[in-house]
Structure 1
């Protein structure tokens, strides 16, 4: 029986696996996909995450491949509203780095393979989870797997969360965006900046990527599933007067919505609803600890605007690892340490959701008095003393 089985081998699940393996635990990862996704998706990696990656021996290799973003600018109507430097806010890593998610995942998988050869299992679908006393049983399409603890790192549609009977509620309103990568016509140095265009028709964001690429994201009025790179390029030109270079891949439309799980670990005393595959056995004495915990998008879905989602999941992993180690060494403390994990990480997720909600609100279309008020606010936030606080927030120093 494994100490921990992690369901989901994306960046958060594999990060947690590495942290646990470095800590000496017997850990295995079950990933439904046969082959890794090559979609770029999340690209921003913040200083607290870089510190965590350094702890598992991945940061140096990642920094060799990534672009370092030391500052950002905000524009509107062809004028610069303000500039923001990240150097003083993050002395250890005075920058945010950008790297396509598939490259980050590959680095984490390679590291875990070195730490626990053969324990990353691809093509395994988990169909159910059942808690039984001091263990949890996972039903998969290739047999039954038993572990002391099961971690749901299987995304916003988490089967593990559903099996645990944990609620999933929406926070705030939905927004739609169109995203694509284009050749970067700017300077080809290793340190470059992000640009936010807070335009009248809606925000346009631009971030550098390795290999002379630049990611462009534009807020849209509807989910533009039929739009292509030419449509995105025209939208960028219409709003910002910037003509992008040739497209490097297809454009993609996506919906942003924020959600938060009702709990980040299971509770056998509340398991057993009609929606749950869990059946807790009768217990007596001290309150038992659940055998299931959630991390990443299975625990909270945060807007990618601001680049918090993947990073928040990594910070979940850093917080959950010592809780699991304590729970395994001292079962009597399990309920308490998992409750602390739930309390602190749900609070962090609510703060991240509020910040992401603010970011999205600032990027909505604005005209007249609202446009003037928003631009004045942006100018104020990019000047001392507010700018250092904003820089700390945007580099996730408070999460």
Structure 2
């Protein structure tokens, strides 16, 4: 959604197809990284999101034998020396509301690209949703992730791989009176054995 909005100020018409049924969805990442915050600043959205999130400027990773490592974001260059932890549904809501400011932009939820062809002048996209639709455009940006089908349709090879480990993500309200620190636990072998200490 952010990629589409980047073209809106130039006066281009933008249409976004979103597979999910709406902008309320569970988080798929721990937060927004500094390069992404730079992009959001060009849209005028960085301050609004920062006000609703939590700064993570230092991460300590612990295991069964003790401290495994420390990642200090406060030493980064640039305006944003932290990762912004914020529920993804909040980010999507802010992006959706901002999209409505542009008369040439629209988003269709519950739609999926089924086929596409391209030539030297345009791209033709077949989209399924409440009813099939065929759209032509000069440019198309695919943001469907590593498991998306657009790459397959274009016969582009994927060089990705697996980390060999798994993570659990959840958005849980923090009602404890902690200050300056957040700790996230992850279960391993049915016991709490590893945790990340997120200092804010």
TM-score by length of 2: 0.79
Structure number with greater Rg is 1
**Is 1:156 aligned to residue 146 of structure 2?**
yes
Per-residue deviation at 1:79?
5.1
Q: Establish whether residue 15 from structure 1 lines up as the match of residue 5 from structure 2.
A: no
Match of 2:25 in 1: 38
- Residue 95 of structure 1 aligns with which residue? 82
4+ runs deviating over 6 angstroms: none
1:158 shift after superposition? 2.0
- The residue aligned with 1:28 is 15
Q: Distance in 2 between matches of 1:74 and 1:139?
A: 46
Secondary structure of residue in 2 paired with 1:133? coil
3-state secondary structure, aligned to 2:79: coil
Contact 1:70 1:86 in 2 (8 A): yes
CA separation of 1:138 and 1:180: change in aligned 2, threshold 3 A: closer
Q: Check conservation: 2:87, 2:171, Cα contact below 8 A.
A: no
> Which whole-Å deviations, capped at 9, do the CAs of 1:163-193 have from their partners, x for residues lacking one?
111122443553233444556475444xx34
| Residues 21, 117 of structure 1: alpha-carbon distance in 2 compared, 3 angstrom cutoff | closer
Summarize the alignment of residues 232-243 of structure 1 with structure 2, pairs less than 5 Å apart.
Answer: 235-236=191-192, 239=193
Greater helix share, structure number: 1
Q: Could you tell me which residue of structure 2 aligns to residue 129 of structure 1?
A: 116
RMSD: 3.0
2:126 to 135, 139, 149: 139
In structure 2, C-alpha distance between the alignment counterparts of 1:36 and 1:123, rounded to whole Å:
10
Q: Residues of 2 paired with 1:96 and 1:42: CA distance?
A: 11
SS at match of 1:74: strand
> Please, which moves more after superposition, 90-99 or 58-67?
90-99
State the 1:149 CA deviation. 1.3
Aligned pairs (5 A) from 1:54-203:
54-77=41-64, 83-116=70-103, 119-141=106-128, 142-180=132-170, 184=174, 187-189=177-179, 192-193=180-181
- For structure 1, the residue ranges without an aligned partner over 5 or more in a row are 1-13, 196-205, 207-215, 222-230, 243-399
Offset from partner CA, 1:148-172 (integer Å, 9 cap, x none)? 1122112333232221111224435
Summarize deviations over 1:6-50 as a string: whole Å, max 9, x none: xxxxxxxx0101111123322211123332342122231122211
1:217 maps to 2:191: no
Residues in 1 aligned to 2:147 and 2:108: alpha-carbon distance in whole angstroms: 20
Q: Which has the higher contact order (CA 8 A, sep 6+)?
A: 2
